[in-house]
Structure 1
Amino acid sequence: MNTVCQEMDVPLIRFDKDDLLRVQTPHEDPLVISLIVSNCLSKRVLVDPGNNANIINKVAFEQLIVEPKQVKPTGNPLVGFDGKRVEPIRIVELPVYAARRNLKENFVIVDEHLSQPPDGKRTNSSIYSEESDALQKKSIALQASSKEASNIKELVNLCLMTDKDKLKYSIFLCFNDVRLLPKEVLTEILSRLPAKSLLRFRCVSKSWLSLITSPNFIAIHLNQSHTNNSHLLIKYYSLNPKKERFSLRVDDNDKSFFELKCPFKTRNNSFFRMVGICNGLICLSDDHFGYTYTIIIWNPAIRKCVNLPKPRVCFHTYGPYMFALGFGFDSRTNDYKVVRIAYLQHRMGSWDTSAGVESLLFGGGEGYIFPPEVEVFALKTGSWKTIEANVPPYNMVEYFWSSAFVNGTIHWLVYGKWEGSNQNHRGTIIGFDVGGEVFCELNLPKKLADDNPLNLAIAVFGDTLSVFQYDKRVKIEHCSVWVMKQYGVVESWSKQFNVDLHGGALGGALGFRRNGKILLARRNGKVISYDPDNRGSKSLGICGGTDSIYVGTYAESLALLDGVNAASGGAKVDSCDMVDSEEEPVSNGPDKDALEKHSFTHLLFSSVFLRQ
C-alpha cells in the first residue's frame, strides 16, 4: 500500500521514545490498518514498507463486488519472504477510500491455498460468491445512476434481500457517495441490521455514530427487531458442568440456536433469578438464598449492563423481611424501571401489637407488617426512590413469587384472608403501573382464586396475561392454562387448554411458543416442547435444575447504547465484566442469630420442597 500512503495528503504520524518502550531493536514491525477497498471494509490491511506490490488474497477478492472488465491478466511472478515464487492469478484495479480521498490502485490476486479442495466439496468463499452473484450484478447496474429515487428504492430492497451482513453492507456502499442517501432511507437500511453490525458501523462517521446512538433510532431498531427477529430465550443451570446458561433459539426452529455468554456469577456460584425480559434487556437478581442486593440490568446484544445500587430497605437497617421484584418499561418517559416490594418481618419473632392485629399479614410463622415498603429504581435517574403507594393488602408466596409485564403494568400473584370467606386464603393479582407508579388489583376467576397459591404461576401468553394452574405443586399430573383475553375484564378469563403431565413425570409449565406449543420441564430437568393438540412432545436437548429454568421472548435491541444520560445523573452503564454478588455483612449479636435462623429455614424449606 505504499502508493496509497504517498498520495494521501495527511499529516505524518510520528513516534517518540515513549513508543519504543518494551520494543526490542532493531525491529521491522508491520503496520495493520483498515481501509474501504472496492466499497467493502477491509479490517486487516498489512502495510509493509519493503513490499513493492499491492496484494489481495483470492478468498477476499471473491467477496468483493467487481466488474469483469476491471480484472486483467498478468505475467509477472511474485517472490515471497521465503524466496518462493508465486504466480499471480490476475491483476485488478480497485477503488480505495482513505483519508477522505478516493484513489485507484492495482492489486495482484494470489491464491494462498495452493491445494485444491477434495472433489465434491466447495469452500465457503465459493458458496458465498455463488449466492451473491445475482445481487452483485444488480448492484453494479445501479451504481451509474444511484441518485435517482427509483434506483435508491431498488437498492434498499436489494440490501434487505440478503441475510449476509457483509454482502448487505457492500451493496449498500455501491453508491458513489453514501451522503446522497436520504436520512430516512439510511435509517431504514441500518435499522434492519443486527446490533453487532451497528456497533461496528458507529466508526464510519460522526453522523452515523450520532444516528445509531440516538433514542429515536434505538426505538426504530427495536420495533424492527420485535417484528422480524424475535427469539426464544431459555435460561437454565446445567448440572454437568455446573454453569448458568442462556440459550437463544429461533422460536419455530429447534435446530437453530446459540448461547449467550453470561459474564456474571452469584454469591454461591449457583444461578440468578430472572426478574424479567423487556425490549432486549434482561433483569437478574441474586436473591434465591439469604440477603443479597445484586440486581443487574443486562443487554447481551451490545455487552452492556447496569449494576443497581443497594436499596434502602436491607437487613442491616430493617431486620428480617421478604421481598419481590418486577421489571418493566415506562413508555411515557422512555425509561426502564425496577420495583421492589419489601414485607418487613417482626424482629426476633415477637408480635408488635401496637398497630393492631389488622396490620399484620398471616403469610409466615411470625407475620409481616403491612403496608410493605415500596422502592422504584429508574435508569434515567440511576437511583432508588421510596413511593407512598396504596398497596392492596395481600401477601406473596415467599421464594416462589414471579412477575409478568403486560400492558405497561407489572403483575404478581398474591393472596389474603377475605371477610366472609370459608377459605383460609383467597388469591388475586396486584399490578404496578410503571408509568403512573400506582398499584391496581385484577380479580381471578373463582376456580383460580379459591385454589392454593402454591399451585398457581403467572406468565405471559403472547401479549396477554396468563396463569398456570396445577393440581398440586409436586408430582404434578395436570395443568390448566388460563388467559385474560381482554385486559382488566374479569369475565374475559378463559381456560385456554389443559395439559396432561403424564402422572407426575413432568415438573411444570415454562412458557409458550408462537406456534401454540408449550414448553414444559420434566422432573429430571429436561425441557420439552409439548403440542396440546396431539399431546406429542419433543426434547430440546436442554437439561438443568428445574427451579433454574426460565423461558421468555427476547428481541435484540440497542438499549443502553446511548449511555442513559449518565452525564446528567442517570445510571452508569458499564461493559460486561465479571460481577460478583454482594452479600449483606452481619455483625455478631441478636441480628446475626435472626438472619441465620431465617436463611437456614428458608434454605431448608426450599431444598426439601424442590427434591420432592
Structure 2
Amino acid sequence: MEDNYNDIHANILAHLPEKSLLRFRNVSKQWFYLISSAYFSQCLNRCSMFPSGIFLKMHHSSNRPIYHFLSLHGKPFSDSFRSLTFVDDSAGIRILQSCNGILLCCSNRRIGENTRNYYIYNPTTNQYATIPKPGNRTPNTIFGVILAFDPSKSPHYKVVFVRSSRTFNHLYQLEIYSSETRLWSFSSEVPKFNYSKGAYCSGFIHWMTNSGASLRFDVDRERFQEIPLPDDWNQHANIRYFKESGGLLHLILTNGRHSTRQFDVYEMEKDTSRWFVKYRVDLDALISEYPEMVRSNSGPSDWDYHAFRVLAVVVSKENEGSFLVLHIPGKAISYNFKHQTSTLLHDFAPGCTHIEGCITIETDDSFPYIGTLAIV
C-alpha cells in the first residue's frame, strides 16, 4: 500500500518545477525521503529530459571563467551562475560537459595534470562530488574525458578518461571511475584516435573528426566499435556541431567550398546503424533580418562567411517544436526547424555589432541545462 502511495505521489510531483520540489522536501519527512530518493530522480528525468536553458562560457582568458544562464523559455537572462563557487578551488572551475542535468567540471588552471581536480556538480540542488584520484598514477597526459550518465537506466554515472599509456605497447589507456562502486577500472587496449571531442548518448561515447574518422565506446561492455558516416560525407566536410539532445545524437556538417546558408542536421538512428537527415536548415530569412551575420572581409565560398555558431539542437516532445539555438554577432537566436522562423532569445550587447562578425561564444562553450534532483 505504501509503495503505491509513493508511486502515485512520485508521478504527480515529477511534473512540478525543480525549485518547487526543493521547497516541498520540507513538507514532511516522508516527502523529503521520497523527493530525495534515486527512484524519484528517475521519475523526474522520465518526465523532463529536455533542456530549459544553456550555460554559456563568456570569456576565455579569465582565470575564473564567467558563465551566464540563457533561458530557452522567455525568462530573463541570468548571471546567477556567473562563476562556479560550489567548492573552493584556488585555480577556479570550468565546465567540461553537461550530461542529462549534471555537469562535469575541473580546476581551470593547474601546473601538472596530477594536481587537477575533477568534480561532478548538480546545479539544481547545488550538490557536488569530487572524483578521487587513482592510486599509483605516474605522470601522464589526458587526451579526453567524458561523463556518462543516463538517469533513465541508472542513478549512477561513470567518468571515462583517455590517458597516455604507462606501457610501450599502447599509446592510450582508459581509466573509468564508477559512482556506484566508488572505484576505478583500467583498460589498456585503446585504438589510436583523436579523443579530444566526444559526445555521450544512450550508453555509448561517440567521437568524430573532420578527417572522417569515427569511433564509439560501449560504456557498460567496455568495447570499441566503428560508427558509420553520413552517406554524403566528403573530404571537404566541416563538423559544426556534434552533441546529444533528448537521448538522440545530432551532427551538423558544412562544406568548406560552399555557402553556409543552407545545411542539414543529421540524426543517428536509435540502433546506431546509420545517420539520416532529420532537419533541413535555410538561414536566408535570418541573414536578411540580421545582415551583420555576413562577414565583409571574406568571400561567399569561405566556410565561415556567415557569422554564427550552433549552441544547441533542442528536441521537443512534439517534433514541430524542435529548434536550433544560434549565436550570431551580439545575440542568441532560436530557429524553428519546421516553420523556419527565428526568435530573439537575448541581446548580449547592442554595441557588439561594430566588431566585424564578432562571435564571442563557441559551440564548445555551451552546456545545456536540464533540471534534475539526481544525487551525485
Compute the TM-score of the two structures, normalised by the length of structure 2.
0.71
Aligned to 1:306: 129
CA contact (8 A) 2:77 2:346 kept: no
Aligned position for 1:557 = 372
Confirm or deny that 1:429 pairs with 2:214: yes
Aligned to 1:497: 280
SS of the residue corresponding to residue 222 of structure 1 reads helix
Q: Report 1:208-287 matches (<5 A).
A: 208-226=31-49, 230-237=51-58, 244-249=66-71, 251=72, 253-256=73-76, 258-261=78-81, 262-263=84-85, 272-278=94-100, 280-286=101-107
CA contact (8 A) 2:97 2:367 kept: no
**Alpha-carbon distance, 1:272 to partner:** 1.9
Residue type of the alignment partner of 1:233: I
Which residue pairs with 1:376 in the alignment? 176
Q: Which has the larger radius of gyration?
A: 1
| Match for residue 187 of structure 2 among 383, 387, 393 | 387
Instruction: Give 1:402's aligned residue.
Output: 197
Unaligned runs of 5+ in 2: 284-292, 296-304, 350-358
- Deviation readout 1:448-475 (Å, 9 max, x if unpaired): 36346x64541235432221223459xx
Aligned to 2:208: 413
Match of 2:333 in 1: 528
- 1:509 aligned residue: 310
Name the structure 2 match of 1:327.
147
Whether the 8 Å CA contact 1:273–1:288 is kept in 2: the answer is no
CA shift, 1:231, in A, is 0.8
Q: 2:229 aligns with which of 434, 444, 452?
A: 444
Return the structure number with greater relative CO, CA threshold 8 A, min gap 6: 2
Structure ranking higher in helix proportion: 1
Change (3 A) 1:483 1:345: farther
Q: Counterpart of 2:373 in 1: which secondary structure?
A: coil
* Paired position in structure 2 for 1:486: 269
Q: CA deviation at 1:203?
A: 4.2
One-letter amino acid of the structure 1 residue matched with residue 372 of structure 2:
S
Distance 1:547 1:340, change over 3 A: same
In 2, are the aligned partners of 1:275 and 1:285 still within 8 Å (CA)? no
Aligned residues with identical type, % of pairs: 23
Q: Is the 8 A contact 1:471 1:479 kept in 2?
A: no
- 1:45-75 CA deviation, whole Å, 9 max, x = no partner? xxxxxxxxxxxxxxxxxxxxxxxxxxxxxxx
* Matched residue, 1:459: 243
2:273, 2:46 → 1: CA distance?
Answer: 31
Deviations 1:279-317 (A, max 9, x none): x21222346897542222111111100121235697xx2
Name the CA shift for 1:185/1:482 in 2 (closer, same or farther; >3 Å): closer
Alpha-carbon distance change, 213 to 427 in structure 1, aligned in 2, over 3 angstroms: same
For residue 339 of structure 1, report the CA deviation from its aligned partner.
Answer: 0.7
1:444 shift after superposition: 0.8
Query: TM-score w.r.t. structure 1 length?
Result: 0.46
Asked if the contact 1:323/1:342 (under 8 Å) is kept, the reply is: yes
Measured at CA, do residues 203 and 508 of structure 1 come closer, stay the same or move farther in structure 2, by a change above 3 Å?
Answer: closer
Number of residue pairs matched by the alignment: 334
Report 1:29-428 matches (<5 A). 182-226=5-49, 230-237=51-58, 244-249=66-71, 251=72, 253-256=73-76, 258-261=78-81, 262-263=84-85, 272-278=94-100, 280-286=101-107, 291-292=112-113, 293-311=116-134, 317-319=138-140, 321-329=141-149, 333-343=154-164, 370=171, 372-388=172-188, 390-396=189-195, 401-414=196-209, 426-428=211-213
- Distance, in Å, in 1 between the alignment partners of 2:236 and 2:139 is 33
Q: Amino acid of the residue matched to residue 335 of structure 1?
A: H
CA–CA separation in structure 1 for the residues paired with 2:332 and 2:134: 35
Q: Structure 1 536/209 Cα, relative in aligned 2: closer, same or farther at 3 Å?
A: closer
CA 466–239 in structure 1, closer or farther in 2 if over 3 Å, else same: closer
CA distance 1:499–1:385, change in 2 (3 Å): farther
Q: CA deviation at 1:428?
A: 3.0
- Counterparts of 1:479 and 1:295 in 2: how far apart (Å)? 39
Inter-partner Cα distance in structure 1 for 2:153 and 2:342: 44
Unaligned runs of 5+ in 1: 1-178, 347-351, 356-368, 416-425, 565-612
Aligned pair partner of 1:469 in 243, 246, 253: 253
Q: After superposition, give the CA deviation of every residue in 1:344-365 in whole Å (9 maximum; x if it has no partner).
A: 599xxxxx8xx6xxxxxxxxxx
- Alpha-carbon distance in 2 for matches of 1:495, 1:222: 24
- Given that residues 275 and 403 in structure 1 are in contact (C-alpha distance below 8 angstroms), is that contact kept between their aligned partners in structure 2? no
Residue 213 of structure 2 aligns to a residue whose secondary structure is strand
Asked if structure 1 preserves the Cα contact closer than 8 Å seen for 2:201 and 2:247, the reply is yes
* Coordinate RMSD, CA, aligned: 4.1
The separation in 2 between residues aligned to 1:283 and 1:299, in whole angstroms, is 9
